[in-house]
Structure 1
Amino acid sequence: MITRLHQVPLPENAARRGEVVELSTVTSALKRLWSAGGFKAKNVVLGMGGSRVFARDFTVPRQPLNLIRESLPFQVQDLLPVPVSDVLLDFYPIQEEEGEQGPVVKGLLVAGVKEAITANVTAAMSAGLRPLHVDLIPFALSRAIAPIRAGRGPEVIVAIGANTTNVVVVDHGVPQFVRIIPNGGEDITRAIASRLQWAPEQAENAKRAVGMGGPMLRAEDRPVLEIIYEVTGELLGSIRSTLSYYTGTTPLQPVQRILLTGGGAQLSGLANALGELTGLPVTVAEPLSNIALPRTKADQRLSREQLDGFTTAFGLALGSHA
C-alpha cells in the first residue's frame, strides 16, 4: 500500500535530463512537495539515470562484494567514457559461475559522474532531506514492474521518459542487462516546436493529438506526423539495436516480450510500432494498477499517465541497498 504520493512541477531548465541545474529552484520545489504532500519522513532514496550514468556488463573473479567494489577503480577505466576519478562506482552482482581460471561473479558495473550526483544530493539536503543512498533508475523500474510479469524467460522493460529511455532485461525479477538511451518523449516536442516555430505547449498538444497517425488524420496534421515518425523512428531504432546487442551476446536467453511504460510510451501507435520493429509482443505495463493508493482530493482517480509518473519513485521506495 502507498500511504502518500504527490508531485509538483519544476520550472523549465531547473533540471536537465535528471540533473539539478538551478539548485535554489529545485530545493524550493522539494520543500513545496513535502509540505503539500504531507510527508513526514526525511529519509529519501535518490534515483539517477541519464547520459552521465553508465551501466556495463562486468565479470570479476569471485571474492567478497566489498573487495570487488574496492578494486573497481583499478579495473574499469577502459569501460568508461570519462576518467575513473570523475565517477562514483558500484557493482551489482547477478550470478556466480565457473570461469576458465576459476569461479567468477557476473554482474553490472554502475558508474555515475560525481558532479551530477553531488548536485542532486545537495538539492535534497538543502531541502532538509536525508539521502540514504543513490539508486540506479533502471533497478527501481525493475522492482516496480517485474512483479507483474506473466511470461517465461527474460523480459525487457522499455521505459520511455521525457529525456531518457531505460532498457532493462529482467529475468525472474533480477536485472540482467541495462542500457540508458539519451532520448525520450520531449525530443519529439522540441523537434515539432523548432521546425514549425510553435510554442512548446502547442507542440506538445499536437504530438498528443496526432500520435503516429490513424484513419482520422487531417491533411494539416501531416507535417507534425512526419516529424513524429522521424524522431520516434530514431528512438525505436536505438531500442532495436540495444535488444539486438543483448541477443547477440546472450543467444541462449532470448527476450520473450517487452513491458512498455513511461510518459513517452503514451504516444498513440508507439506500442504497435515497437512490436512490429522488434518482432516481440508488447505489453503496456501498469505497475500501480493493483496497489492500494491514498485518496486524492474529491476522490478523483489518477490518470494512467499520472500513475506512470510515480513508477520510478515507487521502485525506489521498494529498494534496499546491498
Structure 2
Amino acid sequence: MLSFLRQLFGRGRSERYFIAIDVGSNTAIRSLLFSEAAHDRISLQKQHFELPRRDTYADLVPLVDAHLRRILSQYVKGIRAVPTGIVIGLGSSFAVNDIRTVRRERPKPENAVEPEEIRGILDGFIATETERTINGEQHALAHLMPFRVTLDGYPIHAVSPTTAGRILEVQIFATYVPSALWARLAGLRALWGGMPIRFISDQAAIAAVVITLMNVPDAALIKIGARVTEVTLLADGGIPLTGRFARGGDDVTRAIAARLRMSDADAERIKRQLGATELPRDTLAAVTGVVTGEVEIWLANLVQFFKDNQRMILPDRVYLYGGGAGLALLRQRLAAKAWYHDLTFRDELGVMPLTAEDIPGLRFRNAVSPVRGPEEVALAALIHRADH
C-alpha cells in the first residue's frame, strides 16, 4: 500500500519528506514538516498546538489522537506525498521510561561477538517485556533504544573479529505507554493506507543527540515541564538513571495566581514575562517572593530525587531545558553550590541552559532554524531522528 501511495502522490520527485512531532507535555504539541533533496534541508511548515487544561492524561488522550490525525492529514495533503519518515516523541505526561540492563553469558567466549547476538538480546527483550503493569495500569512497550554495550565490563562501540569475551551486557532505554493511549497511537499507522511512524521517548532522543552530536558522554539532563520535571543522567555514553517528579512550571503559575488573586492565564503571562517587562513595584516584589519560594520547593524535590535514586556522583555538567528553564531565578539558584554539596565531591557544577540551537546539524537552506529555545530541544532532537 505504501508503494502505491508513493506512486500516486510522489511520482517523479527527488525530495524526501519528513515529519517530527513532539507530544512532550500535557500542554502543547509541536510539529515540523521538512524536506531533503541534494543534501539541502528545507523547512516547509511548523505547527504549535496548545492543549486544553485537563487534570489527567486520560482526559487528553482523545484530544491528542484527534490533533495528531488532523496534522498528519494536513501535511500529507499539502505535499501530496507519503513522508519517508515520521517520528513522534512522547514526554513523561504520556509515557514511562525505564532503564534495563540485560546480561547474557556467551557459551563460547573465545568466539568473536556477532551483531546477531546483540540483536537477539533486543528481540528477547521485546518478546518478554511487551507489556507491563505500572501503578496498577496496563502499559505497552512503545520503543526501546540500546545505549551501551559492554563485554566483560568494558564498553564496546563496534564489533570486530577481535571482539570476544564471556559476559555480554546491553543497556536498554525502554518506553512504555498506557495501553489505552497506545491503541490510539498505533492506530495512526493505518492512516492513508499505512504511515511509516516511529515512536520514541523525548528523553531518549535528547540523550542520544547530546551523547553523539554534542559529544557529551557525562551530564545531567533536567527538563522542567508544566507539571513534571524529568531527570536523566548520562555516564560514559550510557544512561544509569532516568526518572521524574511531580513539580513544574504550573506550580509557580498557580502560586502567583493565588498570591495576586488572578486567573491562571494572567499569572502564566506574568511568569513568562518576569524580568523582561516592567511591573509595578509592589507586584514585582510579590511575584519575586512567590517565585523564589516555589523555586526552593522545586529544588528540594530535585535534591530528594537524586538522594532517592542516585547510584553515582553527579556529572560536572547540568543542562536545563523545557519551559521552566526560562526562569532566571531558578537558574541563579542552581548556580549556587549549597544545593549539591551532599551529592558530589566537586567544588562546582556547570549549570547551563540547553536550547534547540545547541543541537548541531540543524541547518535549513530557506530559513534560520525553525526550532529555537529551551522549549523546543525535544523537537530539535526528533528532527535529527526523523531522517536517520
One fold, TM greater than 0.5? yes
- Max radius of gyration: which structure? 2
Provide the residue aligned with 1:57 in structure 2: 99
Residue 96 (str. 1) matches residue 150 (str. 2)? yes
User: Deviation of residue 257 (structure 1)?
Assistant: 1.1
Provide the residue aligned with 2:42 in structure 1: 3
- Kept in 2, the 8 Å contact 1:53–1:113? The answer is yes
Provide the residue aligned with 1:69 in structure 2: 126
156-165 or 123-132, which moves further after superposition?
Answer: 123-132
- Kept in 2, the 8 Å contact 1:14–1:20? The answer is no
Provide the residue aligned with 2:231 in structure 1: 167
- Kept in 2, the 8 Å contact 1:3–1:294? The answer is yes
- Superposition RMSD in Å: 4.2
User: Deviation of residue 155 (structure 1)?
Assistant: 0.8
Residue 86 (str. 1) matches residue 125 (str. 2)? no
- Kept in 2, the 8 Å contact 1:90–1:110? The answer is yes
Provide the residue aligned with 2:290 in structure 1: 227
Is the alpha carbon distance of 1:90 and 1:127 closer, same or farther for their aligned partners in structure 2, counting shifts above 3 Å?
closer
> Separation in 2 of the partners of 1:194 and 1:29?
36
> Separation in 2 of the partners of 1:4 and 1:38?
16
TM-score of the superposition, structure 1-length normalised? 0.74
- Kept in 2, the 8 Å contact 1:263–1:309? The answer is yes
Is the alpha carbon distance of 1:195 and 1:25 closer, same or farther for their aligned partners in structure 2, counting shifts above 3 Å?
farther
Name structure 1 gaps, 5 residues minimum.
none
Match for 2:353 among 274, 279, 284? 284
User: Deviation of residue 156 (structure 1)?
Assistant: 1.1
SS of 2:247 mapped into structure 1: coil
TM-score of the superposition, structure 2-length normalised? 0.63
Residue 250 (str. 1) matches residue 289 (str. 2)? no
Provide the residue aligned with 1:201 in structure 2: 265
Identity of aligned residues (%): 18
The alignment covers a number of residue pairs equal to 306
Is the alpha carbon distance of 1:104 and 1:310 closer, same or farther for their aligned partners in structure 2, counting shifts above 3 Å?
same
Match for 1:47 among 86, 89, 100? 89
Provide the residue aligned with 2:200 in structure 1: 135
**Structure with the bigger percentage of strand:** 2
Structural mapping, 1:105-120, within 5 Å: 105-107=169-171, 108-120=173-185
Residue 316 (str. 1) matches residue 382 (str. 2)? yes
> Separation in 1 of the partners of 2:73 and 2:129?
37
Match for 2:364 among 263, 272, 293? 293
> Separation in 2 of the partners of 1:303 and 1:320?
15
SS of 1:130 mapped into structure 2: coil
Instruction: Read off the aligned partner of 1:285 and give its amino acid letter.
Output: L
Query: What per-residue deviation string (whole Å, max 9, x for no partner) do you get for residues 144-192 of structure 1?
Result: 44456576x6211112233433222224554342113343323322443
SS of 1:86 mapped into structure 2: strand
184-193 or 12-21, which moves further after superposition?
Answer: 12-21
Is the alpha carbon distance of 1:150 and 1:270 closer, same or farther for their aligned partners in structure 2, counting shifts above 3 Å?
farther
Query: What per-residue deviation string (whole Å, max 9, x for no partner) do you get for residues 31-52 of structure 1?
Result: 5567789997263111112245
